[in-house]
Amino acid sequence: MRVESWKLQDGRWLKDRLFTIVCFISTMVGVLLLFLLLWDVFTRGLPWLSWDFLTSFPSRFPERAGIKSALFGSIWLILLTAAFAVPIGVGAAIYLEEYAPKNRLTKIIEINISNLAGVPSIVYGILGLTLFVRTLLLGRSLLAGALTMALLILPIIIISSQEALRAVPKSIREASYALGATRWQTIRHQVLPAARPWILTGNILALSRALGETAPLIMVGALSFVAFVPRTPLDPFTALPIQIFSWVGRPQEEFASLAAAGIIVLMAFLLTMNATAIILRNRYQRRLEW
Amino acid sequence: MLGWLCARMVNGYSKLKERLIEHILFLYAALSIFVTIGIVFILLSETLSFFRDVSVFEFLFGTRWSPMFTPPRFGVLPLVNGTLLVAIGSSIIALPLGISSAVYLSEYAHERVRSLLKPLLEILAGVPTIVYGYFAVTFVTPLIRRVLPETDIFNAASACIVVGIMILPMVSSLSEDALRSVPRSLREGAYALGSTKYEVTTKVVVPSALSGILASFILAVSRAIGETMAVTLAAGATPVMTLNFFESIQTMTAYIVQVSLGDTPAGSVAYKTIFVIGMVLFTMTLVMNIFSQWIRSRYQEVYD
């Protein structure tokens, strides 16, 4: 009797072990793919990465080509995008969390924001092309690109800032009101400082999404061959992902390696931004304990 | 008297300021509504103008897409075919891998292993899509062609593989959240009945989290449909009706990029096609996103 029940358990036990192994392997496939991707980029790109690569303009000759204009374009783009998206996004989050009455309009706004977050980036490109490039006559400029990117990351900024504001305990607001502060004074001097590290983290992550986006920039007409550094927001521009795109599209092997070198620069840029976000969060997290 | 007046004025000023700030912040929040209206208006107006030149019937049921040729053909089905081929192919890769990763991370992995592996998978989600495009062209495609030499240089399979890798973390991360929200008591009840971990997972935990898992699948597929750069670089620019993964195809997103890179004059019928295709894309992804939210809220099991 006892032996029989062991046998029965044996099959179930085997199934259990097999399932564990299958699940473990699936997880490792993802991790291995990440390393494979990084390995491929680094082995190809690293030999091409040099100071000259960073400080030269693009060229028909791979050995002379560089990403100076793309690097400057991306920095410009991120700063301009932040200038539009951060105040509006955080402001919208403040309204929704601190002011908005619980009515139908508020609900519509919130549902609308979460749906906007799922709209494909190329559709934002179409919007930017029609609204900024053609209707507002901004042309194929940095400004048009930055405004498009700002609309693209606005939902992400709003949603993450809302989460940050929601995490501030009610008691802080009530203590401030009890001392006679108005609503805005409470937000300005109590709620915002308390939520700042998380708001900052969410904003940086959203901006790093904008840094890697390619399709909307192609739509608003970023150029792939720009031999100058933009001086004003109305100048034409290129950006890192656009430069990489144009290199990947070429048949010569050397340009693929240049693309890999460009990707290393792009990823280093992204990594710096994300690391800043994490450091900021850890730094403040220790100081603020409720 | 004067003091009272001053106090009234200061009070009035500060009240005005409070009201003003509230109104400005409301405008910021309402901006998102205008973005949606803007998108819909732009897509719709050009789409209507497009259908003045092309019959709706030809667009929806035509099987040839060649807007630049004479005579131009405007059958959208080849592009939808290409998009769906990539969506299906990438799902075949991402859904099984994603759900089993989620199960492993949520049910099996030790906390320390989990805290190491989860961020690694999330990095995959943060890699820009252009990098996946590069990876498809320089690594995946040559690999496929070494195994199956008659594969086209541009082919759906390569795009499917990289898009699959791209949406994998979305499936695993969202499904894991769903699995972890299943209360411990349910698992312990099943253990108490003598179940193995496999049985607890497949018969109790996964069914309880099914709405969240399904929602993550739909979101991932919607993301695959909207993916642009990897498919533009890897899948080709040949709008054809095919189920062959090793042929060159074209997706809706890749078509939009192709037109905007060329010098199609604004206002021409060919130019309007990017708005029509954008409309189809927007509608498809919107329906899927709303469906995913609906499933999550409608079928979510509420515990305690």
The 10s digit of each residue's pLDDT in B75-86 is: 999 999 999 999
> Confidence class of residue B240 from pLDDT cuts 50, 70 and 90?
confident
* Cα B19 to Cα A99: distance, rounded to the nearest angstrom: 11
* Cα A237 to Cα B201: distance, rounded to the nearest angstrom: 53
Alpha-carbon torsion, ordered A223, A225, A228, A229, to 10 deg: 50
> Confidence class of residue B33 from pLDDT cuts 50, 70 and 90?
very high
pLDDT for the residue B151: 84
For the ranges A278-282, B48-52, B281-285, the lowest mean pLDDT is seen at: A278-282
Which positions 19-48 of A are in contact with B (Cβ < 8 Å)? Answer: 19-20, 22-24, 26-27, 29-31, 33-34, 36-37, 40-41, 44
pLDDT for the residue A290: 54
Neighbours of A22 (CB within 10 A): 13
Alpha-carbon torsion, ordered A238, A240, A243, A249, to 10 deg: -140
* Cα B22 to Cα B2: distance, rounded to the nearest angstrom: 30
pLDDT for the residue A2: 47
| Contact (CB<8Å) A120/B127 | no
b/e A145-166 (16+ beta carbons within 10 angstroms → b): bbbbbbbbbbbbbbbbbbebbe
Residue B73's beta-bridge partner residues?
A: B66
pLDDT for the residue A3: 45
| Contact (CB<8Å) B43/A95 | no
Task: Measure in Å the smallest separation between the Cα of B251 and chain A Cα atoms.
Answer: 13
> Confidence class of residue B303 from pLDDT cuts 50, 70 and 90?
low
> Does pLDDT of A7 surpass 60?
no
> Does pLDDT of A99 surpass 80?
yes
> Among B177, B292, B156, which residue's Cα sits nearest to residue B232?
B156
* Cα A79 to Cα A73: distance, rounded to the nearest angstrom: 10
* Cα A51 to Cα B82: distance, rounded to the nearest angstrom: 42
Overall number of domains in chain A: 2
Q: A26 and A101: one domain?
A: no
pLDDT for the residue A8: 54
Polymer length in residues for chain B? 304
Q: Is B2 left (phi over 0), alpha (psi -120 to 50) or beta?
A: alpha
> Confidence class of residue B37 from pLDDT cuts 50, 70 and 90?
very high
Q: Which of A48, A63, A86 corresponds to the end of one domain?
A: A48
For tokens 């259908």, the residue is: B51
Q: A42 and A69: one domain?
A: no
> Does pLDDT of B96 surpass 80?
yes
Q: What residues of B are in contact with residue A127 (Cβ under 8 Å)?
A: 35, 38-39, 42
Residue B74's beta-bridge partner residues?
A: B65
| Contact (CB<8Å) B281/A116 | no
> Confidence class of residue B194 from pLDDT cuts 50, 70 and 90?
confident
For tokens 């791979």, the residue is: A62
Closest Cβ–Cβ partner in A34, A119, A259 for B282: A119
pLDDT for the residue A91: 95
> Does pLDDT of A4 surpass 60?
no
pLDDT for the residue B5: 65
Q: A160 and A226: one domain?
A: yes
pTM of the entire structure?
A: 0.90
Closest Cβ–Cβ partner in B29, B39, B233 for A127: B39
> Confidence class of residue A129 from pLDDT cuts 50, 70 and 90?
very high
For tokens 């009890």, the residue is: A178
Q: A31 and A155: one domain?
A: no
* Cα B120 to Cα B277: distance, rounded to the nearest angstrom: 35
> Confidence class of residue B6 from pLDDT cuts 50, 70 and 90?
low
Q: A19 and A95: one domain?
A: no
> Does pLDDT of B271 surpass 70?
yes
Q: A141 and A70: one domain?
A: yes
Task: Kindly state the average pLDDT of the residues B174-183.
Answer: 91
> What distances in angstroms separate CA B124 from CA A243, B114, B127, B138, B220, one per listed residue?
22, 16, 5, 18, 14
B49 class by beta-carbon count within 10 Å (0-12 exposed, 13-18 middle, 19+ buried): middle
For the ranges A122-126, A227-231, B287-291, the lowest mean pLDDT is seen at: A227-231
Q: A59 and A195: one domain?
A: yes
pLDDT for the residue B153: 87
Query: How much of chain B exceeds pLDDT 70, in percent?
Result: 95
What average pLDDT does chain A have? 87
Q: A106 and A154: one domain?
A: yes
The reply to whether A150 touches chain B by the CB within 8 Å rule is no
Which positions 61-120 of B are in contact with A (Cβ < 8 Å)? Answer: 96-97, 100-101, 103-105, 107-109, 117, 120
> Does pLDDT of B114 surpass 70?
yes
- What does the radius of gyration of chain A's CA atoms come to, in whole angstroms? 25
Q: A129 and A233: one domain?
A: yes
Q: A185 and A204: one domain?
A: yes
Q: A154 and A252: one domain?
A: yes
| Contact (CB<8Å) B129/A214 | yes
Domain harbouring A108, CATH code: 1.10.3720.10
> Does pLDDT of A1 surpass 70?
no
| Contact (CB<8Å) A19/B172 | no
pLDDT for the residue A135: 87
pLDDT in tens, A130-166: 999 888 888 888 999 999 999 999 999 999 999 999 9
pLDDT for the residue B150: 86
Neighbours of A135 (CB within 10 A): 11
Contact status, residue A88 vs residue A153, Cβ threshold 8 Å: no
Q: What residues of B are in contact with residue A44 (Cβ under 8 Å)?
A: 138
Query: How much of chain A exceeds pLDDT 90, in percent?
Result: 53
pLDDT for the residue A14: 86
> What distances in angstroms separate CA A209 from CA A15, A50, A274, B125, B196, one per listed residue?
42, 26, 10, 10, 42
Neighbours of B39 (CB within 10 A): 23
Query: What is the set of domains in chain B, with CATH numbers?
Result: 73-299 (1.10.3720.10)
The domain containing residue A137 runs over which residues? 53-287
* Cα A201 to Cα A274: distance, rounded to the nearest angstrom: 8
Please report the sign of the dihedral spanned by the C-alpha atoms of residue B116, residue B119, residue B122, residue B128: negative
Contact status, residue A201 vs residue A280, Cβ threshold 8 Å: yes
| Contact (CB<8Å) B198/A15 | yes
Within A59-191, where are the H helices? 68-94, 104-116, 121-128, 142-166, 170-178, 183-186
Q: What residues of B are in contact with residue A132 (Cβ under 8 Å)?
A: none
What average pLDDT does chain B have? 89
Neighbours of A50 (CB within 10 A): 12
pLDDT in tens, A71-96: 999 999 999 999 999 999 999 999 99
pLDDT for the residue B134: 93
* Cα A289 to Cα B155: distance, rounded to the nearest angstrom: 54
Task: Measure in Å the smallest separation between the Cα of A232 and chain B Cα atoms.
Answer: 24
> Confidence class of residue A5 from pLDDT cuts 50, 70 and 90?
low
pLDDT in tens, A205-231: 999 999 999 999 999 887 767 777 788
* Cα A86 to Cα A198: distance, rounded to the nearest angstrom: 13
Task: Kindly state the average pLDDT of the residues A31-56.
Answer: 88
Q: A187 and A114: one domain?
A: yes
Task: Kindly state the average pLDDT of the residues B251-257.
Answer: 93
> Among A169, A124, A179, which residue's Cα sits nearest to residue A147?
A124
Higher pLDDT, B150 or A2: B150
